């Protein structure tokens, strides 16, 4: 059945943009920039709900749970993108934070928009991952009505996982289906109904907060430093050397030597320098302090 979504703010046509096809490029760009500028303010209104969700998510992750994003179309691609950045940024196992998109891997590079209408597929995706009570499932849908996402959240609820609904409309069905509702109401798009624009930007900002702050709460940063990052290329290796040097006060040569001995693990290198330990001794010290560098340094 076709759902025209007539009342949703994200589906409305804004008269300010009704003749953009007749405008000079620079003027269209200014209009889009002005529209985008309203997004952070809309996100700010949702910060209390975002914070509550993050605290609940990180509490479960601290007990061994996973963070699973579920979305369709643009929302799903943003979900997969945010999840895929966690291993290089925070040194996480790829299974810890995952993005699930309607239509599967092919939907990342080409439109399989009809996949979002399959609620059963959403439920099956969660069942296939054996979601359980320690896991957190964040459903992402600009309209707040994507059946794939609603089906996934229903299955997550049945399995007693924590559920979060992120949408860009108020009173969304996704909000009613979730334990924690996050609604970032950004209004009509410059191109009517194209929720890859303001709605997509809003969703990316919120997903940034969810993944980043959860990792901070789990001790996967030291201050604002990416202490768990994987030094997988020359840029990141250089960043790791600077980070170890900044924390310990050692020169870059000493920091680099410690990193080499630590197998590229910055936390281990820091403890080796600060406490005069070898790599295994530094790892043992970290384990005894729950892998938190700040505790290991002061302990």
Tell me the catalytic residues: 85, 116
SS (H, E, C) the chain: CCCCCCCCHHHCCCHHHCCHHHCCHHHHHHHHHHHHHCHHHHHHHCHHHHHHHHHHHHHHHCCCCCEEEEECHHHHHHHHHHHHCHHHHHCCCCCCEEEEECCCHHHHCCCCHHHHHCHHHHHHHHHHCCCCCCCEEEEECCCCCCHHHHHHHHHHHHCCCEEEEEECCCCCHHHHHCCEEEECCCCCCCCCCCCCCHHHHHHHHHHHHHHHHHHHHCCCCECCECCCCCCCCHHHHHHHHHHHHHHHCCCHHHHHHHHHHCCCCHHHHHHHHHHCCCHHHHHHHHHHCCCCHHHHHHC
């Amino acid at each position: 059945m076709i759902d025209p979504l007539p009342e949703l703010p994200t589906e409305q046509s804004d008269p300010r943009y009704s003749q953009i096809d007749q405008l000079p490029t620079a003027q269209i760009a200014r209009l889009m920039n002005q529209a985008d500028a309203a997004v952070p303010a809309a996100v700010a209104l949702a910060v209390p709900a975002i914070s509550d969700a993050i605290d609940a998510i990180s509490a479960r992750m601290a007990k061994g749970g996973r963070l699973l994003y579920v979305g369709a179309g643009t929302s799903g691609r943003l979900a997969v993108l945010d999840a895929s950045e966690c291993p290089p940024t925070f040194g996480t196992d790829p299974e810890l934070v995952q993005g699930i998109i309607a239509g599967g891997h092919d939907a990342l590079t080409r439109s399989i928009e009809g996949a979002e209408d399959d609620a059963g597929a959403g439920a099956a995706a969660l069942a296939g991952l054996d979601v359980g009570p320690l896991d957190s499932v964040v459903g992402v849908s600009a309209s707040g009505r994507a059946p794939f996402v609603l089906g996934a959240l229903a299955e997550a609820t049945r399995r007693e996982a924590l559920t979060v609904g992120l949408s860009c409309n108020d009173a969304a069905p996704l909000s009613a289906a979730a334990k924690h509702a996050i609604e970032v109401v950004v209004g009509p798009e410059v191109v009517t109904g194209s929720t890859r624009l303001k709605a997509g930007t809003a969703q990316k900002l919120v997903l940034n907060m969810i993944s980043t702050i959860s990792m901070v709460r789990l001790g996967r940063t030291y201050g604002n430093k990416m202490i768990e990052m994987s030094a997988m290329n020359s840029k990141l290796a250089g960043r790791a050397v600077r980070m170890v040097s900044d924390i310990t006060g050692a020169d870059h040569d000493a920091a680099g030597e410690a990193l080499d001995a630590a197998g590229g693990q910055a936390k281990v290198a820091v403890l080796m320098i600060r406490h005069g330990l070898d790599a295994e001794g530094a790892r043992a010290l970290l384990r005894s302090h729950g892998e938190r560098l700040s505790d290991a340094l002061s302990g």
